[in-house]
Amino acid sequence: MYIIGKVEGYILISRGIFFSLLGLSWLVSFVLAIIENNKRLIMRWSGHRSFWPSNVGIYIILLISESIFFSSDAKKNQVILGIFISYTLQIISSIILSLYAIFRPNEFITIGEIDYTFIRRATRKTIALDLVNEVQEYPKISIKSYKIKQEENRSVTYFNVVSIIKNITYMSKKNIQDFDNLDKVISQRFPKSEYPNLYIPTFPKIKVFDIDERMKILTDYLTSLVTPEFFLPEFLDFLNIGEPYKNNLLTLNEDALKNEVTLSSLDHRSCSIIEKYFTGGNRDTVDHIGEPYKNNLLTLNEDALKNEVTLSSLDHRSCSIIEKYFTGGNRDTVDTDDGEVRYLKTYIDLKIEKWIQVGSHVEYEITWSFQLLSLNGSCYKRYNEILDFHKNLCKTLHPARLPKFPSKNYLKNLNKNDEQALTKRKVQLTKYLSHVMNDLAFLTEESLQFLGIETTIDKIWSINIPEYTIKLFNPIACFPEIDDSGHYLKYSVKIAKFLNSIKKREWSFSRRFREFDELHSFLTKRFQSPMISSYLNYLNITNIIIPGIPHKTVAPLVNSTEIENRRKSLENFLEQLFQVPQIIHAYALKVFILDIDDEENYMIN
């Protein structure tokens, strides 16, 4: 018995070593899964794909052998019983993962740059910034409870701040003074003199709100700080975030602050005015592709080369790697047949055509024309004045989400008198002001006063907007795209615009799924603006519902059924949007569908 017990002891030690190696193999497999997801690789049987199916057989053999080897008395030992339970759990887990490996392989055979069997598995998470966010999870912050304590004969409210990173929860209890101290730290760390173009969230005034509204406002404030620029040690300590994520977030903060790039250092490549642009899309690179895709690719390549325009001929329409679309290009502006670039407008035609040097700073000349009211004028504004206007607008229209204000990141290190930098900023400011001045969700009395427009909101609300309709002209089509960031699907949409049942024009545009998702998110936040609520009350309209959009998927779309379901859902999403006039006139939707209002006749009631 002594010898048997000693043998069983050695076996237990060997089992401990075995389970340690087992844990290491699971860790390696987890790392490999991250690599394949980021690199968009496909699994093969000689590699990682066979790992989990082989584990099923190994654990079944081990479970059977252990059952035979150990005596009935030994099996009553809690340690040995734990081994049996562990084997059973391993078998169950391995079976589940084996099913995934067999039916949804995605690893360790690198796909060629233009292999369309892979592109059909494209996913929206393919651009560089998305990959960073996918690997490095940011904190998700919420405040859902509070506690009132008596301190020094006064009541102090402590808010329970919950931060979740993946499956780890961090909690802290903070009062209003703690929030104010955090705001002071951020203000000191990012002075306006050094970061004039960086939007820095300010701590809102919350005394006038009840406790539930305060929790929501404070949550929004903390959420607005969840960017690499603000992952300061003080902010992470405020959230009580520790390992294993604290060092990672601090590293992101250091990289964000030191890796600012100037426009002059960007390695530009030429931009294609049309959206059918293939990196390396020439005959030499597609010769190995057969039908039915080869001829389509060659046709797209010829179209792209015919319409190719170099950066030097685009004037200010340079490629923006920060906002990931052409500034002044096919988003907030439309290139017309006569070559003119027109900013979208509904009421006010606004332009920034030049700037002047006044002492040590620059002032932009903003010219505007309100043709319906026979008003026009101009004013000079500094960048900081427009930034202050934006911040005040954010407070006034809270909790609505405003258009993105030109950030400081890509202009910080440029000389103030650099013509290229000033042109870049001029374009971005024009886009921003055109948006907030032509969307009733953001247009306020203060906005009119800021530009010196002598009219009232009530007068603008009385303008009779034509009841035009927009309809899908053809079913949405999807096609694969390749660029420097990877492989993805684009959805081609053709629509027609009708006024008094007469078709005025038809046109096409194409968008990625992430752009549909951004539009849905922006429209949802837009209708939270107090101004749009007041305008709808003025029209006696209630219950505007934003239609839903397909859910994001963690795994890539891998078959034609999934792709077709998403295509139909996006088609249904647009059709429902086009049925609501108050949504059709949203500036963000006009930008999204490239609608330029040229033939609409507005009247004043």
Read out DSSP for 226-294?
-SGGG--HHHHHHHT--TTTHHHHHHHHHHHHH----GGG-----EESSS---TT-SHHHHTT--TTTH
Give the mean pLDDT of 462-487.
Answer: 80
* Span 435-455, pLDDT tens digits: 999 999 999 999 999 999 999
Torsion of CA 66, 70, 74, 75, to 10 degrees: 40
**What's the rounded mean pLDDT across residues 418-424?**
79
Give residue 8's pLDDT.
Answer: 60
pLDDT at 465 exceeding the cut of 70: yes
Q: What is the pLDDT of residue 108?
A: 41
Instruction: Say whether the peptide bond before residue 466 is cis (omega within 30 degrees of 0).
Output: no
Q: Looking at per-residue confidence, does 213 or 364 come out higher?
A: 364
Rounded Cα–Cα distance for residues 204 and 201 (Å): 9
Mean predicted lDDT score pLDDT of the chain: 73
Per-residue pLDDT, 434: 92
Contact call for residues 235 and 182 (beta carbons, < 8 A)? yes
Least confident range of 165-174, 259-268, 393-402, 516-525: 259-268
pLDDT tens profile 561-602 = 888 999 999 999 999 999 988 898 899 999 999 886 544 444
pLDDT at 49 over 90: no
Average pLDDT over residues 273-281: 36
pLDDT exceeds 70 at position 282? no
Is 312's pLDDT higher than 60?
Answer: no
488 CA to centre of own chain: 16
What is the pLDDT at residue 115? 36
Q: Which of 106-110, 183-187, 296-300, 388-392 has the highest mean pLDDT?
A: 388-392
Share of the chain above pLDDT 90, in %: 23
pLDDT at 74 over 80: no
End-to-end CA, the chain: 103
DSSP state string for 535-602: HHHHTT-----PPP-PPP-SSPP-SHHHHHHHHHHHHHHHHHHTT-HHHHT-HHHHHHHT---TT---
The model's confidence at residue 136, banded by pLDDT at 50, 70 and 90, is low
What integer pLDDT is reported at residue 79 of this predicted model? Answer: 60
Burial class (CB in 10 A: 0-12, 13-18, 19+), 17: exposed
- Higher local confidence (pLDDT), 70 or 386: 386
Instruction: Pick the closest to residue 350 from 251, 446, 450 (CA basis).
Output: 450
Q: Residue 69 has what pLDDT?
A: 66
Angle at the Cα of 109 from the Cα atoms of 104 and 111, rounded to 5 degrees:
95
Give the list of residues 6+ apart from residue 507 with CB closer than 8 angstroms, or none.
494, 495, 594
d(CA 597, CA 599): 6
Tell me the percentage of the chain whose pLDDT exceeds 70. Answer: 66
E strand or H helix that includes residue 84? helix 78-103
Q: Which residue has the higher pLDDT, 346 or 128?
A: 346
Q: What is the pLDDT of residue 114?
A: 36
As a whole number of angstroms, the distance between CA 393 and CA 441 comes to 11
pTM score, whole prediction: 0.48
Q: How confident is the model at residue 467 (pLDDT cuts 50, 70, 90)?
A: confident
- pLDDT band with cut points at 50, 70 and 90 for residue 291: low
The helix/strand/coil state of 141 is strand
> Residue 147 corresponds to which tokens in the numbers above?
């506690």
Say what the pLDDT of residue 409 is.
56
Closest CA to 478 of 402, 412, 560, 422: 560
Question: Which pLDDT score, from 0 to 100, does residue 72 have?
Answer: 56
Please name the helix (run of DSSP H) or strand (run of DSSP E) that holds residue 325, with its range, or none. strand 325-326
Q: Taking a C-beta distance cutoff of 8 angstroms, is the pair 512, 124 a contact?
A: yes
What distance in Å separates the CA atoms of residue 451 and residue 430, rounded to the nearest whole number?
13
Task: pLDDT band for 485, please (50, 70, 90 cuts).
Answer: low
pLDDT above 90 for 457: yes
Q: Are 410 and 422 in contact (CB under 8 A)?
A: no
Answer yes or no: is pLDDT of 96 > 50. Answer: yes
The answer to whether residue 143 scores a pLDDT higher than 60 is: yes
